[in-house]
């Protein structure tokens, strides 16, 4: 069958348009996802309050600073009660990295009651083996008002928020993180890598676990799963997952990207409304 020149031009134009969309448009087309977050034993003063999750911002060489600052403005306008950052605040580069991180996190969005964060693998630099890079990024984030939880618990008006350090950075330590956890009170966990939920590490934890790391795969063909997801359990792409032991996982698609390419997987910030389960 012979294909006409006109049809070839139409196909080429469509392909070019799709390429432009996946490269220039969707990576910056932020979606605000709104969900209820039912928490067992949630303190009464927090019922109806908002918790906003940001993940995988990836300040660094591959994500446009102007885009990130626009996202920051949108989050600030939401006036969250609690704001959590679930890892990969920055991606390391050789030249000017710390200056860029300091500039971008000098005045990041903050929650009215608390602003908390946990580390991802990219905090640990190349091959995730540089704790000195993570220490410095954490110090910059904390100077900007983000309390970074590295296997530690924060109390927010009676709600316990546990921050786990990163799995690939070899700093995930649930025993230390849960040592002071009161099982009789409400709890939420921040754990960058969704694979951590399958570890023998969560005994006695019966709350939500907020994660990121996957970027939703960044590319998802229609009616098919993403072909590339950086987790062992490929079920954990994006969204809500029921887990054993009364736990629930939420995987955020992230704000930034490693490669400027997204298709059918828009970047995301999540606005949760806290409810008593």
pTM of the model: 0.93
CA-to-CA distance for 102 and 119, rounded, in angstroms? 16
pLDDT over threshold 90, residue 121: yes
Strand 31-39 relative to strand 239-242, pairing: unpaired
What is the SS3 assignment for the chain? Answer: CCCCHHHHHHHHHHHHHHHHHHHHHHHHCCEEEEEEEEECCCCHHHCCCEEEEECCCCECCCCCHHHHHHHHHHHHHHCCCEEEEECCCECCCCCCHHHHHHHHCCCCCCCCCEEEEECCHHHHCHHHCCHHHHHHHHHHHHHCCCEECCCEEEEECCEEEEECCCCCCCCCCHHHHHCCCCCCCCEEEECCCHHHHHCCCCCCCCCEEEECCCHHHCECCCCCCCCCCCCCCCCCCCEEEECHHHCEEEECCCCCCCCCCCECCCCEEEEEEEEEC
Domain total in the chain: 1
CA-to-CA distance for 200 and 66, rounded, in angstroms? 41
Q: What is the mean pLDDT of residues 220-225?
A: 91
CA-to-CA distance for 209 and 201, rounded, in angstroms? 13
% of the chain surpassing 90 pLDDT: 89
Q: What are the tens digits of pLDDT across the range 207-218?
A: 999 999 999 999
Q: What is the mean pLDDT of residues 42-61?
A: 98
Query: What are the distances in angstroms from CA 167 to CA 29, 60, 120, 121, 236?
Result: 29, 21, 8, 7, 15
User: What is the band of 153 on the pLDDT scale with cuts at 50, 70, 90?
Assistant: very high
Q: What are the tens digits of pLDDT across the range 232-272?
A: 999 999 999 999 999 999 999 999 999 999 999 999 999 99
Instruction: Supply the range of the domain harboring residue 204.
Output: 5-276
State the pLDDT at residue 2.
61
User: What is the band of 12 on the pLDDT scale with cuts at 50, 70, 90?
Assistant: very low
State the pLDDT at residue 18.
57
State the pLDDT at residue 22.
82
Q: Residue 224 maps to which CATH number? A: 3.60.21
pLDDT over threshold 60, residue 104: yes
State the pLDDT at residue 16.
57
State the pLDDT at residue 103.
98
State the pLDDT at residue 246.
92
pLDDT over threshold 80, residue 4: no
State the pLDDT at residue 1.
56
State the pLDDT at residue 19.
65
In the predicted model, what is the mean pLDDT of the chain?
A: 94
pLDDT over threshold 70, residue 7: no
Q: What is the mean pLDDT of residues 48-55?
A: 98
Q: How far apart are the first and last CA of the chain?
A: 62
Structure tokens at 235: 């079920």
Structure tokens at 173: 């330590």
Q: Which residue has the higher pLDDT, 12 or 224?
A: 224
Q: What is the mean pLDDT of residues 149-165?
A: 98
Sign, Cα dihedral of 202, 139, 270, 266: negative
pLDDT over threshold 80, residue 13: no
pLDDT over threshold 80, residue 11: no
CA-to-CA distance for 80 and 112, rounded, in angstroms? 6
State the pLDDT at residue 10.
52
User: What is the band of 68 on the pLDDT scale with cuts at 50, 70, 90?
Assistant: very high
Q: What are the tens digits of pLDDT across the range 32-50?
A: 999 999 999 999 999 999 9
State the pLDDT at residue 14.
55
CA-to-CA distance for 21 and 15, rounded, in angstroms? 10
């Amino acid at each position: 069958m012979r294909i006409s020149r006109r049809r070839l031009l139409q196909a080429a134009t469509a392909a070019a348009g799709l390429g432009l969309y996946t490269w220039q448009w969707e990576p910056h087309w932020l979606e605000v996802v709104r969900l209820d977050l039912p928490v067992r034993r949630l303190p009464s003063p927090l019922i109806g309050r908002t918790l906003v999750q940001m993940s995988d911002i990836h300040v660094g060489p591959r994500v446009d600073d102007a885009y990130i600052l626009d996202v920051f403005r949108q989050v600030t306008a939401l006036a969250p009660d609690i704001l959590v950052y679930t890892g990969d605040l920055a991606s390391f580069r050789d030249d000017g990295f710390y200056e860029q991180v300091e500039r971008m996190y000098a005045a990041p969005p903050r929650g009215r009651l608390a602003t908390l964060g946990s580390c991802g693998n990219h905090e640990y630099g190349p091959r995730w083996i540089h704790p000195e890079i993570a220490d410095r990024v954490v110090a910059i984030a904390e100077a900007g008002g983000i309390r970074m939880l590295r296997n530690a618990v924060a109390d927010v008006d009676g709600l316990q928020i546990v921050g786990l350090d990163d799995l690939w950075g070899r700093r995930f330590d649930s025993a230390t993180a849960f040592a002071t956890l009161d099982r009789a009170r409400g709890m939420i966990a921040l754990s960058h890598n969704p694979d951590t939920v399958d570890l023998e590490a969560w005994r006695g934890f019966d709350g939500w676990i907020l994660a990121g790391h996957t970027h939703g795969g960044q590319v998802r063909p229609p009616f098919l799963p993403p072909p590339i997801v950086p987790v062992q359990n490929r079920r954990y792409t994006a969204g809500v997952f029921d887990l054993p032991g009364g736990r629930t996982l939420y995987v955020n698609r992230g704000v930034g990207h490693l490669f400027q390419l997204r298709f059918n997987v828009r970047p995301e910030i999540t606005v949760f409304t806290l409810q008593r389960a």
